[in-house]
Amino acid sequence: MTSYKLYYFNARGAVEPIRIIFAQADVNYEDIRFEGEDWTHKFKPDTPFGRVPVLEVDGIKLAGMVNILRYLGVKFGMAGKDELANAVLGGASDYISDIAAILSKMFFSKDDEKAKMIPEFQEKTAPTMLNILQKHIKSGHFIGSDTLSWVDIHAFCICDNMTRYFGIKLADYPELQKLCDGVAAQPNIKKWLETRPDTHH
Ligand SMILES: N[C@@H](CCC(=O)N[C@@H](CS)C(=O)NCC(=O)O)C(=O)O
Q: Identify the structural domains of the chain with CATH numbers, from first to last.
A: 4-77+189-195 (3.40.30.10), 83-186 (1.20.1050.10)
- Residue 140: what pLDDT? 98
Which secondary structure element, helix H or strand E, spans residue 192, and what is its range?
helix 187-195
Nearest CA to ligand 1 atom 5: 51
Question: What pLDDT band is residue 67 in, cutting at 50, 70 and 90?
Answer: very high
Q: What is the pLDDT of residue 31?
A: 98
Q: How far apart are CA 177 and CA 1, in angstroms?
A: 37
Q: Give the list of residues 6+ apart from residue 120 with CB closer than 8 angstroms, or none.
A: none
What separation in Å is there between the alpha carbon of 15 and the centre of ligand 1? 10
Ligand 1 center to residue 51 CA distance, Å? 4
The model's pTM is 0.98
Whether the CB-CB separation of 34 and 9 falls below 8 Å is answered with yes
Q: What is the mean pLDDT of the chain?
A: 98
- Contact between residue 70 and residue 93 where contact means Cβ atoms under 8 Å apart: yes
